[in-house]
Structure 1
């Protein structure tokens, strides 16, 4: 929206991607009794974080703008098709079927209704007794 600022601190306010929150501790864990050297563990953490952040930043730098533009166009086309095609088509269908519903309802009321009433009156006279 024009004039709307982007929140540079909270970049996922709707928690769309909470499922891909991955930290070192979510991937690696050494159980009791099996330990690498402390320097290996600390440097592994640093390498993991550096690789993850560097790769993500490089990919977003190279592809982020193009992908954002493509998704913007995709959602624009989706909105366009709903506003100009699907909603009017559904409204037309709803109006047409409403008319058809009234027609068939009248036919059923005239033709089937009296038969059902007559059968109902016949069976309403049936009395069941337990002996």
Structure 2
């Protein structure tokens, strides 16, 4: 925070496309965005078991092969049907299922936040006093009963013997 005696040099390097103020760099940026890879919609691999390929479902052993055209056609048909029906089903079911899932998770969150956690916190705060009261009741009421029952039954002995008479 004192006196600065060193000089700082700052350099800005501009690319030729950015330096010229034409519309071409803007169009290139839009094209790059259009060709950008789609983001990973399952970053935690929750549905990794659903990554099913044709060879995971249909596999011909080495000793029996169908015609190559049949194999290629069935592979293409499998991929097409999987793609089209997934798109159709998600178009029909995604919005209602998202609504239901959102509603369920909202209710669960509300119940957890506003009912369960205050109840658990209240129980945890009162447990030490409940423990003291409970142990006092057990000492006053149950311990004498079990001590006297133990004293009475401690003198009982049992012997097992086998009789030969039928």
Higher relative contact order (CA 8 A, sep 6+): 1
Take 1:32 and 1:60, find their aligned partners in 2: how far apart are those partners? 37
Match of 1:124 in 2: none
Q: Which of 128, 133, 144 matches 1:103?
A: 133
Q: Which of 49, 62, 81 matches 1:19?
A: 49
Q: Which of 60, 71, 89 matches 2:90?
A: 60
Take 2:128 and 2:49, find their aligned partners in 1: how far apart are those partners? 45
Q: How many residues align?
A: 105
Larger radius of gyration between Structure 1 and Structure 2? 2
1:51 aligns with 2:81: yes
- Please, which moves more after superposition, 89-98 or 48-57? 89-98
Q: Secondary structure at the match of 1:77?
A: helix
Q: Secondary structure at the match of 2:62?
A: coil
- In structure 1, runs of 5+ residues without a counterpart are 1-7, 113-131
1:81 aligns with 2:111: yes
How big is the alpha-carbon RMSD for the aligned residues of Structure 1 and Structure 2? 2.0
Q: Secondary structure at the match of 1:75?
A: helix
- Please, which moves more after superposition, 15-24 or 35-44? 15-24
Q: Secondary structure at the match of 1:11?
A: coil
Q: Secondary structure at the match of 1:35?
A: coil
Higher helix share: 1
Q: Secondary structure at the match of 1:96?
A: helix
* CA displacement at 1:67 relative to structure 2: 0.7
Q: Secondary structure at the match of 2:116?
A: helix
Take 2:67 and 2:133, find their aligned partners in 1: how far apart are those partners? 83
